Amino acid sequence: MQEDEAGFIALHIVSSETNDDIHQTYEVTNFIQNITNIVKYYFNIEYDSQSLGYYRFITHLKFFATRLFSQSEGDNRPLESDLLDMIKEKYVRPYLCSLKIKKYIEEKYQHSLDNDEILYLCIHIAKITERKD
| Cα separation, 30 vs 62, whole angstroms | 10
When the candidates are 3.40.50.2300, 1.10.1790.10, 1.10.15.40, 3.30.360.10, the CATH number that belongs to 1-129 is 1.10.1790.10
Would you say residue 106 has pLDDT above 80? yes
Would you say residue 27 has pLDDT above 60? yes
Per cent of the chain over pLDDT 70 is 74
What is the residue extent of each domain of the chain? 1-129
More confident residue, 74 or 84: 84
- CA nearest 61: which of 33, 41, 80, 19? 33
pLDDT digits (tens, 9 = 90+) for 113-123: 888 899 999 99
Instruction: Give me the pLDDT at residue 133, please.
Output: 35
Would you say residue 109 has pLDDT above 60? yes
